[in-house]
């Protein structure tokens, strides 16, 4: 198990609570979520519907004001008062890909125009539409086409290209492969992987499809009932040390280490690693 | 961003057009006010200038007597302000002489360019000294034996100016031409050079004009006795030559600025020339007739156009809000790309800037086109178009207001967070709700209504009260719409009326419905009220015209220098109409003072017949005057509007014996047609029997016909009786003068304004439909999924728009009578306060109800057809989605 240093993270969430009020009833969508994501990392937020993953993404994207907790993204602290403060750094530090592809694009523009236009002048100069369209893999023949004339996958790739056009530090993608199938899904995941590889973009994607998470070779964070239940990558589970020194465990580890279990922590073979073992009656080994 | 805005504009060309049209109408409404005000004012002045006829078409400065001023002296003294509104002067010299052959006084006149303004029947134009031409009428009157070409006509100068009759030189004129003159030729300024007035026993006026060249007047004024049997030597002129300089008035140069200046110029000239000069001019009369109208045109039009402006401003808010709502998704995208609020506002500004500019320019152009059409098709006179800086300033002011409204609406949308923008449309409201701005607006409306009801707001500003009242009603309706709709839905559902419940439910929750209903309420109220006022105004003007004259025509007779009598008038009338079928004589004593009243002597039986023909509502007790009473205490009728008299009371008034005397009132009426303020109407026979007064006596003939031939016969008869002139005032002419007033024109214009307002309201309804298109498709999908039959869903859609229109128009038209009740007593019905109690101010129910019904049915049909199309379109949309 590896414990990350939160100060070096691109995204840092600590004790995030999000409460909605529906018909006078308070409902907790997120209950004390803590998370760090390093620069260049790909994170897949997975979980069942209503688990809170889209809410988490919305908070990270600065679209929803958190009820409580601390969120820092790309060096910007999100206070609980002003989510609009992030508007000025969108495009450079933060990009959001919404689930409905049409909400990411301007319908009356062509594929290329959707990349080139709609940016403030401070960002417009740095945009190389062909380069980013190459990265996401859109055929040059499709680039002058109106948006309505291209396939759903191409529209999604255009949306990804548009969000990445200004080379943002973090890409927050909500269900980037929804309503796509087979080869289309692969095209999208390949595009995200290439962007991550070539641009170094940190990606946090919400998906309900584990295959997508796997295809992205992502660190998988499972969210259920508003809590992070598992944070794993290639058999390694990451845990966050809370301010009070406690370490919340995901469900699968809790099953192995039920409450009251005594554990021993010993230095691992590599520097900065530790091995956690259940303590035996003989004492730590 | 500019390129994006350009593409977006092309993609939504309809939005650009709608915005441009809205801006155009608003700017046009604002800028047309100064233009129309100018046109109204100028047309009023031109109309009254033309109404003065040929006799009032010149400003004449006349100098005669023993030491007349020369023409050069007269011209030099004329003020430049007079010359600014007149054409080049016409110089004339005249002298009254006695014709020895006809033994009649004749007027020899030399007028510059006279020959160009007569039609020569025979002979030629006189060119040499002592040559003359005479009118064909004079030849007929005198006989061709006396007046024939080549005739030698000895004349002697008038004795009027000579202390010694022997100073009058004798000269012989030679007749070289016979002419006729068109009566409507303004060159002659109404002088009857082509007429012949038969001599009467008492008349000393010249019977005819002899036109001659200027050389006839050359020479020195005789100072020594002249031979009365031989012609005077060529170097001797006449005594008593009158010099006249006539300046033809150019009506097109008269306007609210030049007219008062010209009147001041006339006064200055008169003061400068002193008693030596007599001035004949109509400019003062024109100013007197128009100054109230001119002032009121500047008050009525702005307030009238404010009504349209308010409706269009509501439409602008709705249009701009709709544009903002339609771009919420784009605004979210732009914000996610790093554009803040300013970026979104800039995007909107760049998209709409061309429409805005086009709208402003076209609005200004539209104002000029409307002004041109109004002047050409409606207003009398030939008022020229002119560039108007005030109109430009008004256009700029409205353009700025539009900009502010757009900026407020757009910024309100752009400032929202991305998550709020992603909701696509604003959240629906529940329950009665009134925002702070609307509450303030409602309070202002209420204050305006209360001020009008308490008569603290009167005159032209009252025209805005119907808008305030309708606005107040609309605000109340808007605030209560949602909860009432919810209540109604529950009731309808309880009665299993699904389609109705759905229609009401949709109506209660659609965005923009409240604005559309408000617009419909205001415009329907304005439309119905305008129609009512238009009809009421026409009725009032017709009644007042009939009351003013008392007959289809009135011939007012001038006495000139001759003395005439009432008996002479009776004889003249009897000579052409013995049974008084067409004409009835009347004699008045116009000497109403603070202590005394005026008298009008009439033939009661004649006026009873003529009064019935004019169709006045109030019966006049003419029969009570039949006896006439005694000459010591004649009976009289009193109009109670200015004479607080009762039947049986005795009132002092002038008599034909030149002193005041008692009159016993035998009948009253609110108003007696033909009788002016503080005038007692008496029996003519009794009046004339009581004395033979001459001063302050007026003569007129009530005519039951406007037949020019019959009236000409009467004019001839009165001239023979010694009356110098006759002015015919017809009902048509009087009505025309009432119709050509700022108040009457404003009532006509209000119809146009209200029709335009109705179109604006229809646009508002269309906007609701377009803006709720996605909502409707979504609703229909949900309804279909929930098992609601397509027929019911379609009926609900049609019902929604029918209800929307019905709600707005019914409440609006129902507001109109209340608005009439509030504003009628204090609004401007007349350009000058009516002197008679003939003005009815209430709602014109028959016309108003018909107008309301037509409007409701028309809009209902339009809404139903529109609703059907929407239902079909929604069905198709649903099909595609499925």
How far is the C-alpha of B69 from the C-alpha of B241, rounded, in Å?
10
What is the ipTM, given to two decimal places?
Answer: 0.83
How far is the C-alpha of A141 from the C-alpha of A124, rounded, in Å?
23
What does the pLDDT read at residue A206?
93
Give the closest-approach CA distance of B26 to chain A in angstroms: 30
Does any CB of chain A come closer than 8 Å to the CB of residue B1? yes
Asked if pLDDT for residue A85 goes beyond 70, the answer is no
DSSP state of B117: G
What is the number of CB-based contacts under 8 A between chain A and chain B?
79
What does the pLDDT read at residue A235?
61
Task: Determine contact, residues B675/B681, Cβ cutoff 8 Å.
Answer: yes
In order of B70, B218, B219, B586, the CA distances from B235 in angstroms are 18, 7, 4, 52
Asked if pLDDT for residue B627 goes beyond 90, the answer is no
First to last CA, chain B: 37
How far is the C-alpha of B445 from the C-alpha of B465, rounded, in Å?
8
Segment A107-114 mean pLDDT: 94
How far is the C-alpha of B493 from the C-alpha of B499, rounded, in Å?
9
Look at the alpha carbons of B499, B505, B507, B510 in this order and tell me if their dihedral is positive or negative: negative
What does the pLDDT read at residue A284?
42
The b-or-e profile of B61-82 (16+ CB within 10 A means b, else e) is: bbbbeeebbebebbbebbbebb
Task: Identify the structural domains of chain A with CATH numbers, from first to last.
Answer: 2-242 (3.40.50.300), 249-285 (no CATH)
Burial of residue B778 (CB within 10 Å: 0-12, 13-18, 19+) is: middle
How far is the C-alpha of B677 from the C-alpha of B599, rounded, in Å?
10
How far is the C-alpha of B159 from the C-alpha of B98, rounded, in Å?
9
Give the closest-approach CA distance of B802 to chain A in angstroms: 34
Does any CB of chain B come closer than 8 Å to the CB of residue A108? yes
Q: pLDDT by residue (tens digit) across B422-478? A: 875 556 566 667 788 889 999 999 999 999 999 999 888 998 999 999 999 999 998
Does any CB of chain A come closer than 8 Å to the CB of residue B329? yes
Higher pLDDT among residues A1 and A30, named by residue: A30
Q: A58–B419: do the CB atoms touch at under 8 Å?
A: yes
How would you list the strands of the sheet with A227-233, edge to edge?
A2-3, A236-239, A227-233, A219-224, A42-46, A202-206, A170-174, A94-97
Measure CA A199 to chain center.
16
Query: Which chain B residues are within 8 Å of A104, Cβ to Cβ?
Result: 333, 336
Q: A63–B417: do the CB atoms touch at under 8 Å?
A: yes
The count of other CB atoms within 10 Å of the CB of residue B788 is 17
Q: A104–B336: do the CB atoms touch at under 8 Å?
A: yes
Query: Which chain B residues are within 8 Å of A118, Cβ to Cβ?
Result: 1, 4, 333-334, 337, 339
How far is the C-alpha of A100 from the C-alpha of A178, rounded, in Å?
9
Does any CB of chain A come closer than 8 Å to the CB of residue B4? yes
Asked if pLDDT for residue B117 goes beyond 90, the answer is yes
Query: Which chain B residues are within 8 Å of A98, Cβ to Cβ?
Result: 336, 422
Asked if pLDDT for residue B882 goes beyond 50, the answer is no
The mean predicted confidence, pLDDT, of chain B is 88
Q: pLDDT by residue (tens digit) across A174-225? A: 999 988 888 899 999 999 999 999 999 999 999 888 888 888 888 888 888 8
Residue A2: pLDDT band (50, 70, 90) is: very low
Q: Which region among A176-190, B221-235, B281-295, B757-771 has the lowest average model confidence (pLDDT)?
A: B221-235
Token code pair at residue B448: 């305006």
Task: Determine contact, residues B527/B849, Cβ cutoff 8 Å.
Answer: no
What does the pLDDT read at residue B146?
86
User: Up-side HSE of residue B510: CA atoms within 13 Å toward CB?
Assistant: 33
B20 closest CA partner among B369, B356, B254, B425: B356
Query: Which chain B residues are within 8 Å of A166, Cβ to Cβ?
Result: 337-338
Q: pLDDT by residue (tens digit) across B336-373? A: 898 889 999 999 999 999 999 999 999 999 999 999 99
Q: Which residues contact A33 (CB under 8 A, 6 or more apart)?
A: A13, A15, A16, A17, A52, A56, A69, A223, A226, A227, A228
Asked if pLDDT for residue A242 goes beyond 90, the answer is no
What does the pLDDT read at residue B594?
67
Segment B828-854 mean pLDDT: 85
Instruction: Give the nearest chain A residue to B335 (CA atoms).
Output: A87
What does the pLDDT read at residue B243?
92
How far is the C-alpha of B280 from the C-alpha of B288, rounded, in Å?
16
How far is the C-alpha of A118 from the C-alpha of A21, rounded, in Å?
35
Higher pLDDT among residues A251 and A211, named by residue: A211
Mutate to test the interface with A, among B7, B328, B333, B337 (most CBs of A within 10 A): B337
Q: Please name the helix (run of DSSP H) or strand (run of DSSP E) that holds residue A33, with its range, or none.
A: strand A25-37
Asked if pLDDT for residue B614 goes beyond 60, the answer is no
Closest to A103 (Cβ–Cβ): which among B7, B337, B422?
B422
Token code pair at residue B658: 């030149």
Does any CB of chain B come closer than 8 Å to the CB of residue A96? yes
| The Cα angle at residue B803 between residues B798 and B807, in degrees rounded to 5 | 160
Q: pLDDT by residue (tens digit) across B716-764? A: 899 888 887 888 999 998 999 899 999 999 898 988 888 888 888 888 8
Q: B336–A88: do the CB atoms touch at under 8 Å?
A: no
What does the pLDDT read at residue A6?
41
Does any CB of chain A come closer than 8 Å to the CB of residue B424? no
Q: pLDDT by residue (tens digit) across B852-875? A: 999 999 999 988 888 888 888 777
What does the pLDDT read at residue A7?
42
What does the pLDDT read at residue B32?
95
Query: Which chain B residues are within 8 Å of A109, Cβ to Cβ?
Result: 4, 7
Task: Determine contact, residues B600/B679, Cβ cutoff 8 Å.
Answer: yes
In A150-189, the residues whose Cβ lies within 8 Å of chain B are 162-163, 166
In order of B23, B56, B294, B424, B810, the CA distances from B46 in angstroms are 34, 13, 12, 59, 43
Segment B794-801 mean pLDDT: 88
Give the closest-approach CA distance of A32 to chain B in angstroms: 22
Closest to B417 (Cβ–Cβ): which among A84, A88, A109?
A84
Strand, helix or coil for residue B779: helix
Does any CB of chain B come closer than 8 Å to the CB of residue A121? yes
Give the closest-approach CA distance of A277 to chain B in angstroms: 46
Q: Which residues contact B833 (CB under 8 A, 6 or more apart)?
A: none
DSSP string, B439-474: HHHHHHHHHHHHHHHTTSS-SGGGGGHHHHHHHHHH
The b-or-e profile of B397-428 (16+ CB within 10 A means b, else e) is: ebbebbeebbeebbbebbebbbbbbbeeeeee
For chain A, give the percent of residues with pLDDT over 90: 33
Q: Token pair 């029918």 is at which residue?
A: B802
Does any CB of chain A come closer than 8 Å to the CB of residue B271? no
Q: A90–B335: do the CB atoms touch at under 8 Å?
A: yes
What does the pLDDT read at residue B795?
87
Q: Which region among B87-91, B314-318, B663-667, B876-880 has the lowest average model confidence (pLDDT)?
A: B876-880
What does the pLDDT read at residue A64?
84
Annotate B744-774 with three-state secondary structure: HHHHHHHHHHHHHHHHHHHHHHHHHHHHCHH
Q: Token pair 């000269």 is at which residue?
A: B171
Query: Which chain B residues are within 8 Å of A105, Cβ to Cβ?
Result: 333
Q: B339–A104: do the CB atoms touch at under 8 Å?
A: no
Q: pLDDT by residue (tens digit) across B6-22? A: 999 999 999 999 999 99
What does the pLDDT read at residue A1?
35
Q: B340–A166: do the CB atoms touch at under 8 Å?
A: no
Closest to A96 (Cβ–Cβ): which among B336, B339, B341?
B336
Higher pLDDT among residues B41 and B143, named by residue: B41
Asked if pLDDT for residue A283 goes beyond 60, the answer is no
Q: Token pair 């009578």 is at which residue?
A: B817
Does any CB of chain A come closer than 8 Å to the CB of residue B427? no
Candidate ranges A25-34, B194-203, B831-840; pick with highest mean pLDDT: A25-34
Asked if pLDDT for residue B133 goes beyond 50, the answer is yes
Q: A120–B339: do the CB atoms touch at under 8 Å?
A: yes
Mutate to test the interface with A, among B350, B351, B418 (most CBs of A within 10 A): B418
How far is the C-alpha of B164 from the C-alpha of B160, rounded, in Å?
10
Strands A2-3 and A236-239: parallel
How far is the C-alpha of B148 from the C-alpha of B177, rounded, in Å?
8
Task: Determine contact, residues B744/B832, Cβ cutoff 8 Å.
Answer: no
Does any CB of chain A come closer than 8 Å to the CB of residue B8? yes
The mean predicted confidence, pLDDT, of chain A is 83
Does any CB of chain A come closer than 8 Å to the CB of residue B350? no
Q: Please name the helix (run of DSSP H) or strand (run of DSSP E) that holds residue A229, with its range, or none.
A: strand A227-233
What does the pLDDT read at residue B428?
59
Q: pLDDT by residue (tens digit) across B681-696? A: 999 999 999 888 888 8
């Amino acid at each position: 198990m590896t414990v990350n240093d939160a100060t070096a993270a691109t995204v840092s969430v600590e004790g995030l609570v999000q409460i909605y009020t529906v018909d006078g009833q308070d409902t907790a969508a997120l209950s004390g979520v803590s998370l760090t994501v390093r620069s260049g990392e790909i994170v897949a937020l997975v979980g069942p519907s209503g688990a809170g993953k889209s809410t988490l993404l919305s908070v990270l994207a600065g679209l929803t004001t958190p009820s409580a907790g601390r969120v820092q993204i790309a060096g910007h602290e999100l206070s609980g008062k002003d989510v609009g403060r992030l508007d000025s750094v969108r495009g450079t530090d933060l990009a959001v890909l919404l689930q409905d592809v049409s909400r990411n694009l301007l319908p009356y523009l062509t594929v290329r125009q959707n990349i080139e236009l709609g940016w403030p002048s401070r960002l417009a100069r740095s945009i190389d539409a062909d380069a980013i369209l190459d990265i996401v893999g859109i055929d040059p023949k499709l680039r002058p086409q109106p948006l309505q004339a291209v396939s759903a996958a191409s529209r999604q790739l255009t949306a990804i290209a548009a969000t990445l056009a200004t080379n943002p530090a973090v890409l927050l993608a909500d269900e980037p492969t929804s309503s796509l199938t087979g080869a289309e899904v692969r095209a999208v995941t390949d595009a995200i992987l290439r962007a991550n590889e070539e641009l170094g973009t940190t990606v946090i994607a919400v998906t309900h499809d584990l295959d997508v998470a796997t295809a992205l070779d992502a660190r998988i964070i499972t969210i259920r009932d508003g809590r992070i239940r598992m944070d794993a990558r290639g058999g390694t589970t990451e845990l966050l040390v809370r301010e009070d020194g406690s370490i919340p465990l995901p469900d699968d580890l809790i099953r192995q280490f039920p409450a009251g279990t005594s554990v021993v922590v010993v230095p691992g073979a590599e520097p900065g690693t530790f091995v956690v073992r259940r303590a035996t009656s003989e004492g730590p080994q | 961003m500019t390129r994006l805005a350009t593409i977006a504009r092309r993609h939504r060309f309809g939005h650009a057009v709608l915005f441009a049209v809205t801006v155009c109408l608003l700017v046009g409404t604002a800028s047309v006010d100064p233009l129309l005000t100018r046109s109204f004012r100028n047309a009023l002045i031109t109309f009254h200038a033309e109404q003065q006829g040929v006799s009032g078409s010149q400003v004449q400065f006349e100098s005669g007597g023993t030491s007349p001023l020369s023409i050069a002296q007269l011209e030099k003294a004329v003020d430049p302000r007079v010359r600014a509104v007149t054409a080049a002067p016409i110089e004339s010299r005249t002298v009254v002489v006695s014709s020895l052959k006809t033994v009649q006084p004749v007027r020899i006149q030399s007028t510059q360019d006279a020959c160009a303004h007569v039609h020569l029947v025979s002979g030629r134009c006189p060119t040499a000294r002592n040559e003359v031409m005479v009118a064909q009428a004079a030849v007929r009157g005198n006989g061709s034996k006396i007046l024939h070409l080549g005739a030698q006509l000895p004349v002697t100068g008038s004795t009027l100016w000579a202390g010694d009759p022997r100073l009058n030189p004798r000269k012989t004129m030679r007749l070289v031409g016979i002419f006729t003159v068109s009566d409507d030729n303004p060159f002659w300024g109404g002088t009857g050079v082509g007429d012949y007035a038969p001599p009467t026993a008492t008349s000393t006026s010249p019977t005819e004009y002899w036109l001659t060249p200027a050389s006839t007047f050359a020479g020195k004024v005789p100072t020594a006795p002249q031979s009365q049997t031989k012609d005077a030597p060529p170097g001797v002129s006449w005594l008593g030559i009158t010099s006249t300089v006539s300046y033809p008035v150019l009506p097109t140069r008269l306007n609210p600025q030049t007219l008062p200046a010209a009147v001041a110029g006339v006064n200055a000239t008169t003061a400068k020339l002193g008693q030596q000069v007599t001035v004949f001019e109509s400019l003062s009369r024109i100013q007197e007739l128009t100054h109230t109208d001119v002032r009121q045109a500047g008050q009525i039009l702005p307030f009238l156009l404010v009504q349209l402006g308010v409706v269009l401003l509501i439409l602008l808010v709705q249009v701009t809000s709709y544009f903002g709502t339609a771009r919420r998704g784009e605004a979210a995208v732009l914000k996610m790309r790093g554009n803040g609020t300013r970026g979104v506002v800039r995007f909107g500004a760049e998209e709409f800037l061309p429409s805005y500019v086009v709208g402003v320019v076209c609005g200004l152009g539209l104002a000029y086109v409307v002004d041109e059409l109004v002047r050409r098709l409606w207003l009398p006179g030939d008022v020229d178009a002119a560039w108007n800086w005030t109109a430009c300033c008004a256009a700029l002011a409205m353009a700025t207001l539009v900009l502010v409204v757009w900026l407020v609406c757009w910024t309100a949308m752009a400032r929202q967070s991305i998550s709020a923008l992603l909701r696509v449309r604003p959240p629906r409201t529940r329950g009665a709700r009134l925002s702070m701005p609307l509450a303030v607006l409602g309070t202002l409306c209420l204050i305006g209504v209360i001020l009008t009801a308490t008569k603290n707001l009167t005159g032209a500003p009252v025209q805005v009260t119907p808008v305030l009242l309708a606005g107040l009603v609309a605000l109340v309706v808007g605030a209560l719409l949602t909860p009432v709709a919810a209540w109604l839905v529950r009731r309808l559902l309880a009665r299993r009326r699904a389609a109705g419940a759905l229609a009401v439910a949709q109506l209660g929750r659609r965005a923009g419905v409240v604005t559309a209903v408000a617009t419909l309420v205001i415009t329907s109220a304005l439309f119905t009220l305008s129609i009512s006022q238009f009809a009421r105004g026409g009725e009032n003007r017709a009644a007042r015209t009939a009351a003013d004259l008392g007959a289809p025509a009135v011939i007012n007779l001038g006495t000139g220098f001759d003395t005439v009598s009432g008996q002479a008038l009776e004889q003249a009338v009897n000579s052409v109409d013995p049974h008084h079928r067409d004409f009835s004589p009347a004699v008045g004593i116009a000497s109403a003072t603070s202590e005394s009243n005026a008298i009008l002597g009439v033939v009661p039986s004649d006026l009873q017949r003529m009064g019935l023909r004019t169709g006045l509502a109030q019966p006049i007790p003419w029969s009570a005057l039949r006896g006439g009473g005694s000459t010591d205490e004649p009976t009289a009728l009193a109009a109670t509007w200015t004479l607080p008299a009762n039947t049986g009371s005795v009132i002092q008034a002038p008599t034909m014996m030149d002193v005041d005397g008692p009159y016993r009132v035998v009948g009253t009426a609110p108003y007696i047609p033909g009788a002016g303020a503080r005038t007692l109407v008496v029996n003519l026979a009794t009046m004339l029997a009581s004395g033979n007064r001459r001063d302050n006596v007026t003569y007129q003939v009530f005519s039951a016909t406007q037949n020019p031939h019959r009236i000409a016969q009467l004019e001839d008869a009165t001239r023979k009786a010694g009356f110098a002139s006759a002015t015919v005032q017809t009902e048509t002419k009087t009505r025309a003068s009432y119709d050509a007033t700022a108040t009457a024109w404003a009532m006509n214009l209000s119809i146009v304004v209200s029709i335009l307002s109705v179109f604006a309201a229809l646009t508002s309804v269309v906007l609701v439909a377009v803006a709720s298109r996605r909502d409707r498709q979504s609703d229909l999908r949900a309804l279909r999924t929930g098992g609601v039959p397509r027929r019911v869903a379609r009926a609900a859609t049609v019902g929604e728009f029918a209800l929307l229109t019905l709600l707005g128009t019914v409440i609006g038209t129902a507001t109109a009578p209340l608005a009439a009740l509030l504003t009628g007593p204090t609004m401007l019905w007349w350009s000058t306060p009516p002197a008679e109690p003939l003005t009815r101010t209430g709602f014109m129910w028959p016309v108003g109800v018909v107008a309301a019904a037509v409007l409701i049915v028309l809009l209902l049909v339009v809404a139903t057809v529109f609703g059907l199309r929407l239902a079909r379109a929604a069905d198709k949309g649903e099909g595609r989605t499925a």
